[in-house]
Structure 1
Amino acid sequence: MTSATASTVDHPLFARIWPVIATHETEMIRALRRENLAGLSGRVLEVGAGIGTNFAFYPDSVEQVVAIEPEPRLAARARDAAADVPVPVQVIGETVEQFTAGKPFDAIVCSLVLCSISDPDTVLRRLHSLLRPGGQLRFLEHVASRGMRGWFQRCVDVTFWPRLLGNCHTHRHTEQSILAAGFEIDGARREWTVPAWMPLPTAEFAIGRARRPA
């Protein structure tokens, strides 16, 4: 849920809230994080690293992780986390739009970040350009639900939720945006991270793999 926009990112309230949420994630969400990173290798770009929650889950086959986190308070926490994991992790305090890569990445990871980007379509096209042909985009994102929950998501999105949670928007059609950016989705599914009856707008997640066509 960390923000990556074209301007300076400054979310002091969210920077206090998110570390508490991230360190108390359910085992189901942590299992989804591990699944999302399983089998990765080579050079990986992680977008919106937050406090580095993913870092411990990267497999040994990954040569390097370049982690983008433009919120400075969260980036500082991510650098601390990077020092405690075996896979080399470089934390960069820039936005995706500002970031320049020397060579294409083998994979890109988005975990709970596309919800908070002001222009996800533009950013996804940028990620497409940063990935080598045939490279994978791994995504784990809460997404738009249907029916009454979808209505509830739209209500919180235009009221308090983005202000409280670092520009997070709960009602986004992320899989459609990924396809529109030029990716091909190889596999994706939906998961409920809490019982469906609970009134939480971020309960339904999409986890999947997409690739830049060769």
Structure 2
Amino acid sequence: MAPHIVFFQICVAIIALPMHILALLGLWDPIAKKLLPYLMERITKNINKHMGKHKKELFSSLSDFKGPSGELKVLDLGCGTGANFPFYPSGCKVLCVDPNPNFKTYLSKSLAENDHVHFQDFLVAPGENMPQVASGSMDVVVCTLVLCSVDNIDGILAEIHRVLRPGGAYYFLEHVAADPSSWRYFFQMILDPTWKHIGDGCKLTKETWKYLERSKFSEVKYKHVLAPFKWSPVRPHIYGYALK
């Protein structure tokens, strides 16, 4: 890594020194896991406001993947506060999975505001290991703004592939690394070591599309877009779907 990037990373770390000390002592993670749902409840509305056009386009074909019974069974992986519920078709059955149990309280409020969604259950599990979900049992898996904080992306994609029925679909929307020649990528690089503590493991410089391209899915389609967050390090996004 270039010396000037390391220098600026250290400068940012000094500014956020209390956070890094707490992380080193193992005290920050419990704080972050309780704080994140509170923050996401407030941030979600802003994300949906600015990314709503892309989400509507992305989820417009969800109903095409109804199973033989005519029902649409959706696994919302990394469901958080239920940010995607407003975009789901009426009557769909939604199973929520998140490794952070603190989201359950906030999820209830979102369900009350989106009664067109038929909530099934809330499971506490990491996306890389969901033994509670039977193989081939889901029509659709939705996973948005999650892979940025996953250490084993190949593992979570394999698990998504496992729980989908043949012909099922995985829908995704993720922020990703910027163009390496851009100033935004430079800022992503210098913020990365501190950002992971702010975002509960979130990494700014992941080239997530490369993991999707080498996954087991039979077809992967996605677009690169810039979210309308002008000065944000998470402005570059991809969204699309993959078929089993």
The answer to which of 77-86 and 50-59 deviates more is 77-86
How does 1:36-47 map onto structure 2 within 5 Å?
36-41=58-63, 42-47=72-77
What SS does the aligned partner of 1:136 have?
A: strand
Please name the residue that 1:141 is paired with: 174
Asked if residue 23 in structure 1 is aligned to residue 40 in structure 2, the reply is no
Asked if residue 93 in structure 1 is aligned to residue 127 in structure 2, the reply is no
Q: 1 or 2, which has the higher helix percentage?
A: 2
Is the Cα contact below 8 Å between 1:185 and 1:211 reproduced in 2? yes
Please name the residue that 1:3 is paired with: none
Is the Cα contact below 8 Å between 2:99 and 2:124 reproduced in 1? yes
- Return the match for 2:108 from 79, 82, 86: 79
Q: Which has the larger radius of gyration?
A: 2
Structure 1 gap ranges (5+):
1-8
- Alpha-carbon separation, structure 2, partners of 1:12 and 1:81: 18
Please name the residue that 2:95 is paired with: 66
Residues 178 and 27 of structure 1: CA distance in aligned 2, closer, same or farther (over 3 Å): same
What SS does the aligned partner of 2:143 have?
A: strand
Please name the residue that 1:110 is paired with: 143
- Return the match for 1:170 from 204, 212, 221: 204
The answer to which of 73-82 and 139-148 deviates more is 73-82
Query: How many percent of aligned residue pairs carry the same amino acid?
Result: 27
The AA in structure 2 aligned to 1:182 is K
Is the Cα contact below 8 Å between 1:75 and 1:92 reproduced in 2? no
Residues 26 and 104 of structure 1: CA distance in aligned 2, closer, same or farther (over 3 Å): closer
Normalised TM-score (structure 1): 0.84
Please name the residue that 2:238 is paired with: 206
- Alpha-carbon separation, structure 1, partners of 2:225 and 2:102: 30
Normalised TM-score (structure 2): 0.74
What SS does the aligned partner of 1:23 have?
A: helix
- Alpha-carbon separation, structure 2, partners of 1:134 and 1:151: 40
Count residues with an aligned counterpart.
200
- Alpha-carbon separation, structure 2, partners of 1:26 and 1:131: 26
Question: For 1:175-195, what per-residue CA distance to the aligned partner results, in whole angstroms no more than 9, with x for missing partners?
Answer: 211222212444211111126
The answer to which of 19-28 and 63-72 deviates more is 19-28
What SS does the aligned partner of 1:45 have?
A: strand
What SS does the aligned partner of 1:189 have?
A: strand
Please name the residue that 1:6 is paired with: none
Give 1:162 deviation, angstroms: 1.0
Task: Say what the alpha-carbon RMSD is for the aligned residues.
Answer: 2.0
Is the Cα contact below 8 Å between 1:142 and 1:206 reproduced in 2? yes
Residues 190 and 179 of structure 1: CA distance in aligned 2, closer, same or farther (over 3 Å): same
Is the Cα contact below 8 Å between 2:48 and 2:83 reproduced in 1? no
Displaced runs of 4+ in structure 1, greater than 4 A? none
- Return the match for 1:54 from 84, 105, 111: 84
Please name the residue that 2:3 is paired with: none
Structure 2 gap ranges (5+):
1-28, 64-71
- Alpha-carbon separation, structure 2, partners of 1:67 and 1:26: 19
Question: For 1:121-171, what per-residue CA distance to the aligned partner results, in whole angstroms no more than 9, with x for missing partners?
Answer: 11111111111122111111111111232232232222x111011211111
Please name the residue that 1:132 is paired with: 165
- Alpha-carbon separation, structure 1, partners of 2:81 and 2:102: 9
Give 1:67 deviation, angstroms: 1.3
